[in-house]
Amino acid sequence: MVGARREGGSGAAGAGFQARAGERVRGPERTFRKETPMIITKMALPRRTFLRGAGAAVALPLLDAMAPALSAMSRTAAAPVRRLAFTYIPNGAIMEQWTPAAAGKAFDLPPILAPLERHRDRLVVLSGLDSRPAEAAEGEGSGDHARASAVWLTGVHPKRTEGADVRGGKTIDQVAADALGRDTQLRSLELAAEDFTAVGGCDIGYSCSYVNTLSWRTATTPLPMQTDPRVVFERLFGEGLGADARRRQLAEDRSILDAIVGEVGRLQKRLGAADRSRVDEYLDNVREVEQRVRKMEARVGEHIELPAMPVGVPELYDDHVKLMYDLQALAFRADVTRVGTFMLAREASTRTYNHIGVPDPHHAISHHGNAPDKVAKHAKINAYHVSLFARFLDTLRATPDGDGTLLDHALLLYGGCIGDGNLHTHTRLPAIGAGGAAGRLEGGRHLRYPDGTPMANLLLSILDAVDVHRERIGDSTGRLAGLL
């Protein structure tokens, strides 16, 4: 059944009216010309509408039928939904190849950021930001990697411990999720592209909890990051199929959408032509991602005994990252969640990137000692990660959302909490803002801030952009001037 109750009363006035081809239709809000017949009915779908079947619950994207209707002829687009996405890169960056030479609008993207050129109008490069809480307190010594990932979205110095008594700060994704997650199936989505199962100490004096996640529900509650695309897919669109049922579904090579085919057909009969097209395209996208999940599971092995939660992390890093980004885009499009975090790799990652010509472990390369060949390899990893982010922006930009696109209405932060990986500095951090934040973020700019400007000022401004206001975050001293 269509899993939502009707909201909004009687719907459009003049129900059942059919405009003839070429007829001019007038209303108090606008005049438009219909070149094809249009059926206006009393149907009005709530924004939170699901198509439900056995083991499946698929949320619908934003449709015209969900727009608030003042009358049949004055229906306007629903207010845009703002979404937040945070993508983290570990081990610092080659900032000389990251930071544009000129500030303002007349700047050239340097080599590392070059893959983002096609999204320049939706891009804000931010330089001069520091995160001093990630530095060692007196007597603490090492531990910069653990502190970096723990501080990035909090601005709060974490407790030095290798035990279970971890303490950091509530991350701004969770602060935002308290408000943005009230009307969604999931408060937030936490994704990663590297194994995050280590326990004990992962950096000198610091628990693995600090490097295993970006997201903290409270100061003492780190949230797990999910690396398995199938688990993510079923969390977004499944309804708790057990291991046996999942095994049967895989054996039959059935799509999760097969369970709702009848409901799709009934819904389509009630929608206008534009909405029917949107639903078809959206469900095709869901099916395509699902098929990619299946193909990647096949690479892991054809005879996997499925546990309570299915396995199937892609063998190839490139495939893994792209699929996780696509799942996040699907989650945003279906409005299953409005807040997401994604860790491309954990701090001190030793991942190698043979497919781009860097067989050396990432962490080792980040300690380049200014050797030209190692600097070049580190920059190559940085640019590769940026290219994957650019592809994510491609997807968001190509996805309609109300009167714009997902990219128009989202605000994304891409960067990390180590500047110079060779020296483990937490100054001059790599930071990029992307998206339009539903008209609140102007792109095409390089904003250069005075040395010592707290990264936490940016965190405050990001919350402001989604109407979640706080007096202070971590070591913030105010909002980031000129951003919004």
Q: Under CATH, which number does the domain 83-228+337-465 receive? A: 3.40.720
Check residue 307 and give its pLDDT.
34
Q: Can you say how many angstroms the Cα of residue 75 is from the centroid of all Cα atoms in its chain?
A: 30
In whole angstroms, give the CA distance from residue 431 to residue 112: 12
Residue 452 CB burial class (10 angstroms; 0-12, 13-18, ≥19): exposed
| Other beta carbons less than 10 A from residue 154's beta carbon | 29
Check residue 255 and give its pLDDT.
63
- For the chain (484 residues), the mean pLDDT of every run of 10, in chain order, is 38 32 35 34 54 58 60 48 96 98 96 98 98 93 93 97 94 97 90 76 85 95 92 75 52 59 73 78 74 59 38 80 94 92 96 96 96 98 98 96 94 98 96 97 98 97 97 97 94
Contact 475, 152 (CB under 8 A): no
Check residue 304 and give its pLDDT.
36
Instruction: For residue 127, give the nearest of 456, 455, 466, 475 by alpha carbon.
Output: 455
Check residue 231 and give its pLDDT.
85
Check residue 456 and give its pLDDT.
98
Check residue 216 and give its pLDDT.
96
| Other beta carbons less than 10 A from residue 315's beta carbon | 10
Q: What is the pTM of this model?
A: 0.77
HSE of 127, CA atoms in CB hemisphere, 13 A? 16
Q: Where are the domains of the chain?
A: 83-228+337-465
Rg for the chain (alpha carbons), in Å? 24
| Other beta carbons less than 10 A from residue 405's beta carbon | 18
Check residue 202 and give its pLDDT.
77
> ∠ CA(335), CA(346), CA(288), 5° rounding?
40
- φ, ψ dihedrals at 122, nearest 5°: -120, 25
